[in-house]
Amino acid sequence: MIEEPLSPCHTGIFASNHVEMTTSHGNQPVHLPYFATWFFYLLAWFVGGMCFTAFSETQLTPSENLKTATSPDSTSFYLSSQVQVIHLQIHDSDLEKMKSALPKRIYVPATFRWGNQTIENVGVRYKGNSSSRPNQRHKRSFLIKFNEFDKESTFLGLQRVALDNGVQFGSLFSEQLVTGILRNLNIKSSRCNFAKLYLNDKYHGVYTNVERIDSVFLQNEFVGGGALYKVDVYNEQGKAGANLRWVKQLPHPDVRLGAVFEPKSSAAHTDAHDVLELISKINQTPDNDFARVMEKTIDMEAFLKTMAVMLFSGAFDQLTGWNPHNYYLYHEPKSQRWHYLPWDLDVGFADNAFRYIPVVSGWNAAWPVMGSSPSPLVERIVDNSQLLARYRRLADSILEKYFHPKVLLPRVDSLYNRIKDDLTGDPFPHRRATNPEDQSYESIIDSIKDFIRRRYDTARTQLDNPGTRPQIVKHTPRRDHGPQPGKPSADDPTGLHVTSSSSSFVTLKWTDNSKNEGAYIVQRADGDEGQEFRNHIGQPGADIITASDISVVPGWTYRYRVYALRPTPAGPQGTGVSNTITVHVPNRGN
Count Cα atoms within 13 angstroms, Cβ side, for 201: 1
Is the separation of the CB atoms in 479 and 47 below 8 Å? no
The span from the CA of 393 to the CA of 391, in Å, is 6
The span from the CA of 353 to the CA of 132, in Å, is 22
Model confidence pLDDT, tens digit, residues 180-195: 999 999 999 999 999 9
Is the separation of the CB atoms in 268 and 275 below 8 Å? no
Is the separation of the CB atoms in 377 and 319 below 8 Å? yes
pLDDT at 211: 95
pLDDT at 379: 93
Query: pLDDT band at residue 472, thresholds of 50, 70 and 90?
Result: low
Query: How high does pLDDT run on average in the chain?
Result: 82
pLDDT at 110: 97
The two beta strands, 153-154 and 67-68, are parallel
Which residues have C-beta within 8 Å of that of residue 585, sequence separation ≥ 6?
501, 503, 506, 552, 553, 554, 555, 556, 557, 558
Query: pLDDT band at residue 317, thresholds of 50, 70 and 90?
Result: confident
The span from the CA of 130 to the CA of 132, in Å, is 5
Residue 556 to residues 129, 240, 550, 551, Cα–Cα distance (Å): 21, 18, 13, 11
pLDDT at 383 exceeding the cut of 90: yes
Which residues have C-beta within 8 Å of that of residue 129, sequence separation ≥ 6?
1, 2, 3, 10, 11, 12, 13, 15, 16, 18, 52, 54, 550
pLDDT at 413 exceeding the cut of 60: yes
Strand partners, 523: 535, 561
pTM for the structure as a whole:
0.74
Is the separation of the CB atoms in 475 and 357 below 8 Å? yes
What's the chain's length in residues? 590
pLDDT at 33: 40
Mean pLDDT of 332-354: 89
Strand partners, 327: 342
**Residues of the chain with pLDDT > 70: what percent?**
80
Q: What domains lie within the chain, and their CATH numbers?
A: 64-182+190-218 (no CATH), 483-584 (2.60.40.10)
Cis check: omega of the bond before 134, within 30 degrees of 0: no
| R_g of the chain, CA atoms, integer Å | 23
Measured from the Cβ of residue 481, the count of other Cβ atoms closer than 10 Å reads 11
pLDDT at 312 exceeding the cut of 90: yes
pLDDT at 555: 79
pLDDT at 124: 97
Query: pLDDT band at residue 132, thresholds of 50, 70 and 90?
Result: confident
Query: pLDDT band at residue 27, thresholds of 50, 70 and 90?
Result: very low
Query: pLDDT band at residue 259, thresholds of 50, 70 and 90?
Result: low
